[in-house]
Every structure is written in structure tokens, then in C-alpha cells.
């Protein structure tokens, strides 16, 4: 556990006492994430290869016995209060919806078949602080869900395994918030390990640790374009529906089934007459294959080969899946010209971030190139930072 995280936890405990007038029972943390490769595959039963970020959401919490939740956000300065007995999907909005969603998901976990029984949440005070960039496609929502879920479960005395918590958080986002996301973000927030990415098979729910640049000769850089990350305007849900329709036309349960074959993709897609559906399916099938190839290349130390797959992933997301925006494409081109192994958009798209796998020592050069390109295009100055793989959710103090 880093010194910085411990210092943040102590500061959060002090803020909790200031806001609520009493000491917190503990502080919990859950990280954001970046996805090295495997985009829009998780809701198609496919493969993903994310890792946890050092940036995390911290939650200081204290148990209550009156059935109320009081949540204070240091990000907004707002305190929201609601009664557990009155929780219904859609009943709380804004940032507090994710807090309410996790309490609701835990309290109904047995009914949903995700745990042996419902979690008896009696009430809780929560103070939330985060340095995960908001709206950047780095899973700030999953970090909030998992940190709150872990805090509430621990205070309740409920034994919830990491993957179970991830599934409860996914249910919270799907069924309470109304965002039809896959399981990747919550999974890596709970299961991340320092120095590793996690190959996750979303069909079997099997995670496999994959060392990421173990020899220290490369690092991942994140370029936050500051382009608003817009997933709630229907485009994300539309992509999911298109994939489901393509699978129906092809007579398979999910597009993952077709990714597992060695057949030519153009031949596989012959029955799909609709051009949009064909392009969506082509991305998912080829992206799944790129994930498996990337894992093999990482294990072999072939970073140039990994970079080739990253570039191919970006082009597929730009042309076949159509989820990039101008800021993303400008960042991708600027970064790609700086001698990196590879670069690509990361996250659901429609804004957000580009990542680059780069030789150590290129950080400042990449930063300068992207800032120059953005200034020339009249965009807001981007942020560029290193992203070493970090640990997943845990109790800090």
C-alpha cells in the first residue's frame, strides 16, 4: 500500500469527523481502470485485458442503526440522505445514485441470486473522495460502486468475495442506474494486482493474471483528452443492441462464439446484410482475437506485436464501431508519431482517453506532442500521466 494512499486515507478520516462530527469506523479504496485491449467485448461474452490504476476512490464510513444513509462527496461538497427501506431503481440520481445503487444491490443480493442471502444493511454514513478523473472513461463509477460496496459489506459483517462484489456492482449500474455495462470495470476494480493486467473471460468469469512490462522496459501512458465521456445519450446502449441483433441474424447466442473459431471473418459475416450490423460484429470478433494474441505477445516479450494489435484495435473502434471523437483521433495520431509501441482509445468511447504502450523515457515527449496538437486544433489542454498497474479494492485503515 502506497504512502500516498495512506496519507489520503488519513485526510479523509479527518474530513469525515468534520462533516459528521464523529470518527469513521474505517476507510476503504477502489481503483479506476484502463483497458489495454478488448473494448466492447465484455457485454458480448468476450475477452478483456484491463488493469487497475493508482488513482482510486476512497470512502470513510461509519455504521448507523436507523436505516438511513448519509453520503457526503468532497468532489461536489454535497450531502445526500435517503432511507434504505425506500430504495427503488431510479429513486436517487446524480453521483449519489451509485451509492444508493450499491446499498440496494447488497440489500437484495439474495433475491437476485448473487449471494446466499440479502445483506442486512442497517444504515451508514459515508464520506467520498476520489482522484479518478470523472467522465474520462477510466471507470470512476465502478471505483465508487466498489469502494462503497466494500465499506458497507465490511461494516455489516457480510463475507462477499471480490468477484461477487463486482457482479453486485454491475447489477447496481445495470438495474438501478440504468447503464447496460458489462462486468469488466467492476471486475478489475475488485481484482486488480500491482504489476499485472487481468485477462478476463466474461463468459466463464475466469480471471488470469498477465504480467505487464515485467522487465521495466515499457510503461503505459494515459492521455486524458478532456473530451466529455458521453455514454448515457443512448449510443452505448445502441451498440449493445446492434451486437445482439447481429448475433441473432448469425444464429448464435453471442458474438463470442464466432470469435473462438479460426474461420475467415468476412465469410462468417456473409449472412449479415445490414452494413452497420456487419461492421459492429466484425469489430467484436476481431477484437476478441486481438486480446488473446496480445496476451501471448506480452508473455513472449514482443511489445512491438502488442503495439500492432493496439493500433488495429483503435482503427476498428474508429471505423467499424464508430465510438471515437475528434479529440481522441487527434491524440491517437499525435502519440503514434512519437515512437511508442502502440496506442488506442480506451473505454467505451465518445470521449475519454487514449493509452499508449511506450518505451520508458518517452513521457515528456508524448506530453509535449499531444499538447501541441491539441493547441493547434483549439482543444482544451489534455492531461498525460503514467499508469503503472495497481492493486484492487481493499480496506486502507
Q: Which residues are catalytic?
A: 185
**315 membership: H or E segment, kind and range:** helix 303-319
Q: What is the DSSP string of 131-188?
A: -SPTTSSS-HHHHHHHHHHHHHHHHHT----HHHHHHHHHHIIIIII-----SHHHHH
Rounded CA separation 286/220 (Å): 23
Closest CA to 115 of 61, 69, 153: 153
Determine the length of the chain.
397
Which of 255, 233, 235, 232 is closest to 244 using CA atoms? Answer: 255
- Whole-Å CA distances, 274 to 40, 246, 250, 265, 268: 20, 9, 12, 15, 14
CA angle 22, 24, 28 (to 5 degrees): 160
CA angle 340, 341, 346 (to 5 degrees): 85
| Residues 247/285, Cβ–Cβ less than 8 Å | no
Name the DSSP letter for residue 121: -
- Contacts of 202 by beta carbon, 8 Å cutoff, 6+ apart: 41, 42, 43, 44, 45, 46, 47, 48, 182, 183, 184, 256
What single DSSP character describes residue 75? T
Name residues whose C-beta falls within 8 Å of residue 346's C-beta, 6 or more positions apart in sequence: 34, 35, 36, 39, 137, 138, 222, 352, 353, 354, 355
3-state secondary structure of 243: helix
How many C-beta neighbours within 10 Å does residue 22 have? Answer: 10
Amino acid at each position: 500500500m502506497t504512502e500516498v494512499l495512506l496519507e489520503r486515507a488519513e485526510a479523509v478520516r479527518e474530513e469525515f469527523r468534520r462533516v459528521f462530527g464523529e470518527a469513521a469506523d474505517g476507510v476503504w479504496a477502489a481503483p479506476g481502470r484502463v483497458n489495454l485491449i478488448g473494448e466492447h467485448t465484455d457485454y458480448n461474452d468476450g475477452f478483456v485485458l484491463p488493469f487497475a490504476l493508482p488513482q482510486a476512490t476512497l470512502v470513510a464510513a461509519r455504521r448507523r442503526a436507523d436505516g438511513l444513509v448519509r453520503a457526503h462527496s468532497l468532489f461536489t461538497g454535497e450531502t445526500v440522505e435517503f432511507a434504505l427501506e425506500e430504495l427503488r431503481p431510479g429513486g436517487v440520481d446524480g453521483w449519489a445514485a451509485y451509492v444508493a445503487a450499491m446499498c440496494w444491490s447488497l440489500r437484495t443480493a439474495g433475491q437476485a441470486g448473487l449471494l446466499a442471502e440479502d445483506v442486512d444493511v442497517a444504515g451508514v454514513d459515508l464520506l467520498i473522495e476520489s482522484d479518478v478523473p470523472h467522465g474520462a472513461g477510466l471507470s470512476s463509477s465502478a471505483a465508487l460502486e466498489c469502494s462503497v460496496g466494500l465499506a458497507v459489506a465490511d461494516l455489516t459483517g457480510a463475507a462477499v468475495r471480490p468477484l461477487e462484489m463486482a457482479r453486485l456492482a454491475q447489477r447496481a449500474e445495470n438495474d438501478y442506474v440504468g447503464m447496460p455495462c458489462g462486468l469488466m470495470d467492476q471486475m478489475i476494480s475488485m481484482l486488480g494486482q500491482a504489476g499485472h493486467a487481468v485477462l478476463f473471460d466474461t463468459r466463464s468469469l475466469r480471471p488470469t493474471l498477465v504480467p505487464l512490462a515485467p522487465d521495466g522496459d515499457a510503461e503505459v501512458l494515459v492521455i486524458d483528452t478532456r473530451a466529455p465521456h458521453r455514454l448515457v445519450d443512448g449510443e452505448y446502449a445502441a451498440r449493445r443492441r446492434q451486437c445482439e441483433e447481429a448475433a441473432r441474424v448469425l444464429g448464435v447466442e453471442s458474438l463470442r462464439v464466432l470469435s473462438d473459431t479460426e474461420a475467415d471473418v468476412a465469410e462468417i459475416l456473409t449472412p449479415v446484410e445490414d452494413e452497420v450490423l456487419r461492421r459492429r460484429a466484425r469489430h467484436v470478433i476481431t477484437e476478441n482475437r486481438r486480446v488473446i494474441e496480445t496476451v501471448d505477445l506480452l508473455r513472449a516479450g514482443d511489445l512491438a506485436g502488442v503495439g500492432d494489435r493496439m493500433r488495429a484495435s483503435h482503427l476498428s473502434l474508429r471505423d467499424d464501431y464508430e465510438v471515437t471523437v475528434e479529440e481522441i483521433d487527434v491524440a491517437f495520431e499525435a502519440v503514434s508519431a512519437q515512437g511508442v509501441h502502440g496506442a488506442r482509445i480506451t473505454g467505451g468511447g465518445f470521449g475519454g482517453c487514449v493509452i499508449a504502450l511506450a518505451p520508458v523515457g518517452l513521457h515528456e515527449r508524448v506530453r509535449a506532442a499531444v499538447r501541441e496538437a491539441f493547441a493547434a486544433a483549439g482543444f482544451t489542454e489534455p492531461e498525460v500521466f503514467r499508469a503503472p498497474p495497481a492493486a484492487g479494492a481493499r480496506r486502507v485503515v
